[in-house]
């Protein structure tokens, strides 16, 4: 009788649900439209400020904390310009940031992020009938980004979010506001 009770206790103990492991690292990726706040003087009227943006980040999110830390990179197409005088040319300006991110969760799925770091800005010129390469790239050593987002959990490891990101690059005083649709996955 004692052996049967002990066997049932051991089986019940083994069949007991184990607590799910908490996954501290999360990978996020998102894309969406961006708006460039035009600071150009030359060809100001030809600037197309509506472009696109991509972002990817890895965050460390401790279980019992509203603060998290991480690294983010991405791609911001800042603007495009098509000019016809003195030659036909298409100019694009893009930025690839590498930022350190601090995030804070707020109640009801909202969160905010502050990021700072560096970026490299690419200026691509495609001109008809002009010889040589007129492309340029510049490092911006003090860039900033502020984000306000709203996240919902779809499953234990997958989340969906929408983020409003303001990016500022100090090299040429470039400012962009982007609306990204983001998917997150807990590792």
* Domains of the chain, first to last: 23-186 (2.40.160.20)
The mean per-residue pLDDT over the stretch 45-50 comes to: 89
Q: How far apart are CA 178 and CA 52, in angstroms?
A: 8
Measured CA distances, 176 to 50, 56, 84, 161 (Å) = 10, 17, 26, 19
Give the per-residue pLDDT at 16.
47
Do 175 and 36 contact (CB within 8 A), yes or no?
yes
Per-residue pLDDT of 65-96, as tens digits, reads: 999 999 999 999 999 998 887 778 888 999 99
More confident residue, 82 or 51: 51
Helix boundaries (H) for the chain: 2-15
Q: How far apart are CA 171 and CA 168, in angstroms?
A: 9
For the chain, percent of residues with pLDDT exceeding 70: 89
Is the bond leading into 86 cis (omega within 30 degrees of zero)? yes
pLDDT at 21 over 50: yes
The mean per-residue pLDDT over the stretch 46-57 comes to: 94
Helix (H, G, I), strand (E, B) or coil at 138: strand
Do 149 and 160 contact (CB within 8 A), yes or no?
no
Do 61 and 27 contact (CB within 8 A), yes or no?
no
Count CB-CB contacts under 10 A for residue 51: 19
- Pseudo-torsion of CA 185, 51, 146, 70, nearest 10°? 30
pTM for the predicted model, two decimal places:
0.83
């Amino acid at each position: 009788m004692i052996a049967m009770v002990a066997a049932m206790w051991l089986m019940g103990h083994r069949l007991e649900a184990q607590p799910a492991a908490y996954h501290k690292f999360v990978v996020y990726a998102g894309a969406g439209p961006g708006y460039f706040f035009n600071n150009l003087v030359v060809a100001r009227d030809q600037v197309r400020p509506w472009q696109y943006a991509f972002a990817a980040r890895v965050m460390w999110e401790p279980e019992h904390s509203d603060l998290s830390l991480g690294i983010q990179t991405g791609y911001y197409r800042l603007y495009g310009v098509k000019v016809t005088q003195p030659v036909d040319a298409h100019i694009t300006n893009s930025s690839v940031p590498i930022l350190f991110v601090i995030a804070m969760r707020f109640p009801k799925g909202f969160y905010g992020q502050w990021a700072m770091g560096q970026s490299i800005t690419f200026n691509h010129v495609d001109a008809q009938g002009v010889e040589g390469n007129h492309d340029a790239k510049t490092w911006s050593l003090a860039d900033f980004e502020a984000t306000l987002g709203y996240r919902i959990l779809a499953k234990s490891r997958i989340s969906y979010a929408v983020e409003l990101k303001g990016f500022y690059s100090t090299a040429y005083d470039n400012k962009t506001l982007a609306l990204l649709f983001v998917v997150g996955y807990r590792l």
